[in-house]
Amino acid sequence: MISDEGVRRDVGERRTPETGTGPKKAVRNQVRGEAGNVVQADRIAGDVHIHRDVYLFVTGGFGVLRDGNPVRARPLSMAGCTSSDARAEIVATVGGAIEQVWPDSAPRRPEPEAAGEAARPGSAPPPVETEPRTLVLDGIDEASEPERVLREVLAPVAGHGIRLVLAFRSGSSAALRVARELWPEQDGDPEVFLARLDLLARAVDELAQRENALHRHHAHVAGRIAGAPAVPDRAIELRLVVTGLRRDDPGMAPEERAQRLARAEADVEATSRLLRERRGELDSLVERRDDLRGLLEAYRAQAIDHGFVEDVVLDEPYRRSHDALWRRGPCDLDAATELVRGYGAAVRARIGPA
């Protein structure tokens, strides 16, 4: 006798192509007016930690894939780097003038015309006048010396004419904890508030695109399979929140504005998770239906292989199962499952013991 498990192996694994979704969108971050595109998988506002001089991003295993800021075509990867490697990469990218921010660097000989303006011994290094002003570094927590890279290399650079955008692979890494200590969030700073609001607005735009794509996918699935779960609609309301926070309302205390912003960021994060869950649930329905279709046809092939091409005992249960799975209206998967099982039992009964 041929078992259901054997039939399932014959059917093989099936996956339905996604409907209504495109490639990941670039998340555009305003860094003091300098535009950078940091592409992350399902990046949300809750993954961002903002200081005036440093932005910290948690990217997960995907990392920063592309950067469109003026620094270079791709961000600097710190994976496997020592502190010396990190220094060399930064110098090669922004120029030798940056070396003066590191106390242990050899003093650079001043140009003849600027010799009279050399800094006095022991004075703090002047701001570094370099272009571009935004430096993106990926995989900080994958460096071979992440804490030394942060404390000895990047901390002196921050605030000297260069804005740092640092990407971490893990939200629980020790390197990220060090970075948060070095550059604590400045919720009371108006510039930081506006930067967070810009990121929230872009996260809401991305959320709206994902909601629209999932609504299209939902319509595709719900027209064919019963029981499709509803898709959330939060982007419109969140856009109203962003608009309200952009208004300079004298009646709203700064603490209340900060609380509303934090709640909206958390709402985006929760809705993003829910969208992923709903997408998975919809795809599971399609996969379950396709598996039933494959199982039904595998049973049919068994019957034919044993000479039951047209059989009065098998034709009716096959027709009912086929109609349930290929009907024009939504398919009841529970009912279809019972029909397919019944047809399989009938096939096994007709074939008899092996």
Count the neighbouring beta carbons within 10 Å of the beta carbon of residue 191: 11
pLDDT of res. 215:
96
Query: Of 156, 147, 157, 203, which is closest to residue 180 (Cα–Cα)?
Result: 147
Task: Report residue 21 as tokens.
Answer: 């979704």
Whether 312 and 300 have beta carbons less than 8 Å apart is answered as no
pLDDT of res. 131:
45
Return the exposure string of 61-72: e unless at least 16 CB atoms fall within 10 Å of the residue's CB, then b: eebbbebebebe
Check residue 328 and report its DSSP letter: S
pLDDT of res. 246:
87
H/E run at residue 115: none
Task: Report residue 185 as tokens.
Answer: 């969030």
Give the whole-angstrom CA distance, residue 179 versus residue 155: 9
Whether 160 and 127 have beta carbons less than 8 Å apart is answered as yes
pLDDT of res. 98:
84
Give the whole-angstrom CA distance, residue 142 versus residue 150: 12
Task: Report residue 290 as tokens.
Answer: 């396709």
Task: For CA atoms 47, 48, 49, 54, give the dihedral sign.
Answer: positive
Task: Report residue 103 as tokens.
Answer: 């106390």
Query: Of 145, 134, 160, which is closest to residue 55 (Cα–Cα)?
Result: 134
Query: Of 22, 2, 12, 10, which is closest to residue 287 (Cα–Cα)?
Result: 12
pLDDT of res. 300:
95
Query: Of 145, 126, 10, which is closest to residue 83 (Cα–Cα)?
Result: 145
pLDDT of res. 199:
84
Whether 197 and 245 have beta carbons less than 8 Å apart is answered as yes
Task: Report residue 39 as tokens.
Answer: 């592409």
pLDDT of res. 212:
96
Give the whole-angstrom CA distance, residue 85 versus residue 31: 26
Check residue 98 and report its DSSP letter: G
Is it true that the peptide bond before 330 is cis, omega within 30 degrees of 0? Answer: no
SS3 state at 56: strand
SS3 state at 205: helix
Q: For residue 24, what are the CA distances in angstroms to 57, 68, 149, 210?
A: 17, 15, 30, 10
Whether 120 and 58 have beta carbons less than 8 Å apart is answered as no
pLDDT of res. 47:
55
pLDDT of res. 217:
96
Positions in the chain short of pLDDT 70: 1-48, 60-74, 105-133, 186-188, 354
136: Cβ–Cβ under 8 A, 6 or more apart, which residues? Answer: 36, 38, 64, 67, 69, 71, 75, 76, 165, 167
Place of tokens 């809750």: 46
pLDDT of res. 74:
60
